[in-house]
Structure 1
């Protein structure tokens, strides 16, 4: 089994974004027009079977998704439990060429940031990350260290809070 340092570097490729569901759908639709992808929620599950989604229209707010180019298959890995039994993790560890989308979303009083990133160093992962980044750069505006989708920018201009996290105080909100 490879050691983590053989396939991962500590420096991550990541980009923080403020995006509504509509903003994400536009980005993902344009990428899917050029390449086939699969999306699946990351996490630890009771079975090794994971639900794969073929489009970005059904992605849930505040969820993280592993994205992989087709025809590659998503792989889970067994995780022994202290209490006995085994769970199955879906993450980047056994999925070379993958990217993680952290969706973010709307809360009662704010839009919370999401992120596109990968810890994988393979060319396939970097190319996939660059596909997302390129599309975000085409459609979003950069404000400080964030890329802000068109709908998110309208919310910002209307006085809505755009926060890095759901617990961030107002002084950390994005402003123009």
Structure 2
């Protein structure tokens, strides 16, 4: 497994605009990844997802992530027995190899901070790789590359106005993304 990842900084508006573009060609659905007490809701439109493109925790690795699959795909949960009894439902790529993982990141707090997001797959399944390529192609086309990240237009404005583009608000500012002069 080689994996593919596209790292980015984007505002909610820019994410929605880019995914609208993708959705005009491919019917997709979104489901929150992770461990759950019950099967999570599936969304046919990214705009239906609560807090989409808004960073809740301020730390990229703690932000919600979603599996994206083509509309006709059935998302398979993985039942995980717990040591103290009961079970949890895992939604991840291990049972859904035709999916991609989307962690939107987004605006944190008053809007002067953008937390990094990522579109990735660790699957070797050709359907997953093609889906990753199709979505990442639009993001790359619409956004500017700065170092290892793609930056959406509104996130670039935040950066140029002195805001932070960061993987975590508690990390020192010297690790934030900066535009080279």
> Structure 1 residue 39 and structure 2 residue 40: aligned?
no
Structure-1-length-normalised TM-score: 0.90
Q: 2:135 aligns with which of 132, 136, 140?
A: 132
Contact 2:18 2:138 in 1 (8 A): yes
User: Partners of 2:74 and 2:41 in 1: how far apart?
Assistant: 12
Query: Mapping of 1:73-92 within 5 angstroms?
Result: 73-92=74-93
Structure-2-length-normalised TM-score: 0.88
> Structure 1 residue 30 and structure 2 residue 31: aligned?
no
Partner residue in 2 for 1:21? 12
SS of the residue corresponding to residue 169 of structure 2 reads coil
Q: 1:167 aligns with which of 162, 165, 170?
A: 170
Which structure 1 residue ranges, 4+ long, deviate > 6 Å from structure 2? Answer: none
Per-residue CA distance 1:9-51 (angstroms, 9 max, x = gap) = 1x3200110000011101111111001111011111112x320
User: Partners of 2:116 and 2:20 in 1: how far apart?
Assistant: 20
User: Partners of 1:152 and 1:94 in 2: how far apart?
Assistant: 34
Per-residue CA distance 1:117-173 (angstroms, 9 max, x = gap) = 001111100011001110011110001110000110111111111112233210011
Residues paired across the two proteins, number: 166
Partner residue in 2 for 1:5? none
User: Partners of 2:108 and 2:26 in 1: how far apart?
Assistant: 32
Contact 1:24 1:56 in 2 (8 A): no
Contact 1:104 1:112 in 2 (8 A): yes
Q: Give the alignment's Cα RMSD to 1 decimal.
A: 1.2
Deviation at 1:65, TM superposition (A): 0.6
Segments of 5+ residues of structure 1 without an aligned counterpart are 1-8
SS of the residue corresponding to residue 18 of structure 2 reads helix
Per-residue CA distance 1:56-104 (angstroms, 9 max, x = gap) = 2133233211000120111101000000111110011100210011011
SS of the residue corresponding to residue 120 of structure 1 reads coil
Query: Mapping of 1:39-118 within 5 angstroms?
Result: 39-47=30-38, 49-59=39-49, 60=52, 61=54, 62-108=63-109, 110-118=113-121
Contact 2:37 2:87 in 1 (8 A): yes
Segments of 5+ residues of structure 2 without an aligned counterpart are 55-62
